[in-house]
Structure 1
């Protein structure tokens, strides 16, 4: 017979409670990691988009400077 003071029943309840707490903590940590991963991916995409835009603008500026240099060179 099992009584309320039986140490084995208390041990089982504590183990079950501990397992539930571990599972909940694991789920929360995984959720946090997924959220951070998604935010990092979003920020990375924004940075790459801005770098591509900056590269395009620098290429255009370089082309304009070369065109102006060719137009201003003295005719022989």
Structure 2
């Protein structure tokens, strides 16, 4: 009977160890996903900011070209 109890205890210990390992793996994966999500959000914000800046600069360039075209047309 003692060996039966020993094998049951060993089985429960192994099961507990597996559950602990799964929990740790799950926690590490969640941390990794959160980190990646935060980095992605930061990069997305930077990209949108650069696109807004580029759009503003293109609008200014277009306005300058239009003004120069009107100036040259008016002097002829």
TM-score, length basis structure 2: 0.91
1:61-76 residue pairs with structure 2 within 5 A? 61-75=61-75
What are structure 2's unaligned runs of at least 5 residues? none
Report the count of equivalent residues.
75
Counterpart Cα distance in 1 of 2:61 and 2:42? 29
2:2 equivalent to 1:20: no
Counterpart Cα distance in 1 of 2:2 and 2:67? 94
Structure having greater relative contact order (Cα 8 Å, sep ≥ 6)? 1
What are structure 1's unaligned runs of at least 5 residues? none
RMSD over aligned Cα atoms: 1.7
